[in-house]
Amino acid sequence: MLIEEFVQLVEKRKKEKPVWFGLESDPPATSAQIQDVEVQLRVRLPVSYRLFVTRYGGGYFALGNLFSVFPGSDWNIVERNRSLFPFGFLAVSDNGVGDLYGFRVTDGVCDEEIVMFDHETGTISQPKYVDLFEFLEETALKPR
């Protein structure tokens, strides 16, 4: 999904379900904050993630959540990944029951595809979503 299509979907949902967007979230990211996170984690973040946090920040987002690059935040991606990163996985969201969604990391580069880390088995699934926008469309922006 292109960023323009995603933005249109978000605006549509904001008009239909404004209460979904009422929870506090982190402010949009600066390029310096993104670069700082990439240095700290020693990864190249996916384009879809960088575009999202630059426009929307992080934290609560509609019916979901997304870890942010905002320093000191409860949603900070660096802090949320301290124990996971050595496994070749960078978490960007949780499902509220222990499982994590994120990107596989190969040679310091995050894939665009979203996979799930199952906390009970310690395994990473096959790709579930093509990119972050598709993930958020399905998990945060679809009426249930």
- The boundaries of the domain holding residue 108 are 3-22+43-139
Residue bearing tokens 């690059």: 69
Q: What is the CATH number of the domain that holds 15?
A: 3.40.1580.10
Question: Looking at the 3D structure of the chain, how many domains does it have?
Answer: 1
* Predicted model pTM: 0.93
30 in a structural domain? no
27 in a structural domain? no
36 in a structural domain? no
Least confident of 40-44, 75-79, 123-127, 139-143: 123-127
118 in a structural domain? yes
* Mean pLDDT, residues 104-132 taken together: 92
In 5-143, DSSP assigns E strands to: 25-26, 58-61, 64-66, 89-94, 100-106, 109-110, 115-118, 123-124
32 in a structural domain? no
